[in-house]
Amino acid sequence: MNIFIEDTFDSAHSLPHLPETHKCHFLHGHTYRIRLEFTGPMTDQGWIIDYGIVKAHWSTLKKALDHKFLNEIVPLSTAENITLYIVADLKARLKDYGPPLVRLARVEMRETERCGVVWEAK
């Protein structure tokens, strides 16, 4: 069984490695929509993990990304690399501050309403 939270954050980036004729070469922003899914065994409390713990982990990471210039955080700030940054950060947070059997199962991050990235644990 998985649980999930969904949220948004607003950030700017540019992809200067692309030619100047590509619209993403220049500074632009997105309202990223994110869905974070976690998996683990049911506890005696009847849940996998307290939503409050998940929200606290995400809130700390969101503060680092929201209304920021992502190139300063993720140098090649493609949607794929931003997603991998989020995955690595949340995995470390869960390892250090989460129930031992709970793990990040899936991350879906949308740059726009119609395109995005999905990462799934193997």
Please give the Cα distance from 62 to 83 (Å, whole number): 12
Note if 67 is an active site residue. Answer: yes
Closest CA to 105 of 38, 59, 54, 43: 38
**108 in active site:** no
- 24, 25, 37, 108: the active-site residue: 24
Beta-bridge mates of residue 6:
35
Residue 37 falls in the annotated catalytic set: no
Please pick, among 17, 67, 72, 80, the residue that the annotation labels catalytic. Answer: 67
Spatial separation of the C-alpha atoms in residues 43 and 48, rounded to whole Å: 6
Report d(CA 79, CA 33) in Å as an integer: 11
State whether residue 81 is helix, strand or coil: helix
Residues identified as active-site: 24, 67, 111
